[in-house]
Structure 1
Amino acid sequence: MFVAIALVVVALISLSSPTILPVERGLSGLFSPRATSECPFANSASCTNTTAISDTCCFESPGGLLLLSQFWTVNPPTGPSDSWTIHGLWPDLCNGEFIQDCDPSRAYTDITGLLTSAGESDTLSTMQRYWPDYHGRNEQFWEHEWSKHGTCMSTLRPQCLPDESSAGTDAILYFKTIIRLFRAYDIYKTLKTANIRPGATYSLSSLQAALRRAFKVMPDFRCTRGNLDQIYLYFHLRGSAIDGQFIPIDAPTRSNCPARVNYPVKRSPN
């Protein structure tokens, strides 16, 4: 019954609507049976409720404004030359303020070992390629993103996971969720489709139009000295981060880029 309802809802989504990641009943590679949240599909999306919601295992709170940050790092060149890279997923408060380091007891070290022990070699290899640290300190970068931001996601707390979950499953689900979002919002490919390629200067409005046309929402473009180097995509979440819907929204923040933006070449050895 649940699957039938979900399919009907997806079918009714307008072509002009934002690209909403579909409900996924489980993430493979973690459990047998797969991990599921068992959250009701009809829940309100985060930051849209009009009354208090007590079940924060199925409602992301207080950090219900989720920000996916992607890097374009050219000095030193970081990651593949034909792909942006992951910075992180940050659960901000609905008013745009942020929380951090919410549970020091879950500030895991040795993320590589954690993923390897869980049989997540594919996840690890994806992170090594698309979530590198520009200084080469991948492990410290992943540990930082998890402890600072991941521990603040209410729907990924240990008490919100299946009973058979082992220590560290919350972090693994965080990384897998981010990879899922990163793959769904491929900035390099989307800009290339609009004939926007590294090595030239473009109007900010043309960059904005290209992503808005593809994603149906306005991201936040970030520049350093006129060079494009980061893009923020914002979401509300319906249900759990494990298998819920990430609903893209217009960025509540304004770009700091000038009217003309340089999209520099990344001459990556990768």
Structure 2
Amino acid sequence: MKMKLTFSILIKLAILQYFSVLCIAEDFDFFYFVQQWPGSYCDTKHSCCYPRTGKPDADFGIHGLWPQNEDGSYPQNCNRDNALDEDQISDLTSSLQKDWPSLSCPSSTGFRFWSHEWEKHGTCAESEEIDQHGYFEAALKLKEKANLLQALNNAGIKPDDEFYDLDSIKEAIKDATGFTPGIECNIDASRNSQLYQVFMCVDISGSEFIECPELPKRRCASKVQFPKF
């Protein structure tokens, strides 16, 4: 009798834990879709290593698709038991290597980077529509839809080591996408403010850009450098 009671309690606890994970996974207001410029990532004091597949294209690369709340908080690491399964994204691997490359050292295939993003952020967005494959596929589609480099090039803003007005960069992206971006800068060895990351907001389906309920608070100079890569 005591064993049956203990077993029953364990089952109830397991069910409770399962549903608590689901609740956490759905408890966010929107996504930040974040892309970074590789020239700025590499043009700092931090180490930069090209992927094993070779130097990436001179284009913005995906950093992540991050669940976010309007009050500035965000969920993370919502299901540590759900590690990324390489087989689940095998058909996306070539696209991920191109559009979501890892520049961290040592040189890698990118899977460790993708695993980190899934486990920290993706597990908090799990639903019937967004599983492991759906999460990465959504990010790839958003990158194609935004086409940041083309938006900036159309406005005469090119990765040529020149300095551009921060407001002009924001306006060029808004003109192309219809939505105001958040811009993050970093500092190179010469203390220049560089265009580093672009934040755009996405609805909880992970498919449509929206006006940001809350823009990230990042500091940039009024003129920022767009470094070559």
The two structures share one fold, judged by TM-score above 0.5? yes
Q: CA RMSD in A?
A: 2.0
Which structure has the highest helix share of the two? 2
Q: Decide whether the 8 Å contact of 1:222 with 1:228 is kept in 2.
A: yes
Equivalent residue for 1:229, pick from 196, 209, 218: 196
1:98 aligns with 2:74: yes
Matched with 2:84 is 108
- Flag the 1:214–1:174 CA change in 2: closer, same or farther, 3 A: same
CA distance in 1 between counterparts of 2:121 and 2:165 reads: 33
* Equivalence for 1:214: 176
1:141 is aligned, of 92, 109, 113, to: 113
Q: Which of the residues 54, 57, 64 maps onto 1:80? A: 57
1:176 lines up with 2:137 in the alignment: yes
TM-score relative to the length of structure 1:
0.63
Alignment partner of 1:230: what SS? Answer: strand
Considering Cα pairs closer than 8 Å and 6+ residues apart, tell me whether 1 or 2 has the greater RCO.
1
Deviation at 1:255, TM superposition (A): 4.1
Q: TM-score, normalised on structure 2?
A: 0.74
Q: Secondary structure at the match of 1:104?
A: coil
Displaced runs of 4 or more, over 3 A: none
CA distance in 1, matches of 2:79, 2:186: 32
Displacement of 1:177:
0.7
Pick from 143, 148, 167: which aligns with 1:187?
148
Matched positions, count: 184
Query: Quick one: which of 222, 225, 228 aligns to 1:262?
Result: 225
**Larger Rg, first or second structure (1 or 2):** 2
Q: Tell me how far apart the structure 2 counterparts of residues 207 and 173 of structure 1 sit (CA, whole Å).
A: 30
Letter in 1 for 2:113: F
Structure 1 counterpart SS, 2:199? strand
Q: CA deviation at 1:236?
A: 2.4
The answer to whether the Cα contact below 8 Å between 1:79 and 1:131 also exists between their aligned partners in 2 is no
Instruction: Say whether the 8 Å CA contact 1:236–1:249 is kept in structure 2.
Output: no
8 Å CA contact 2:37–2:196 kept in 1: the answer is yes
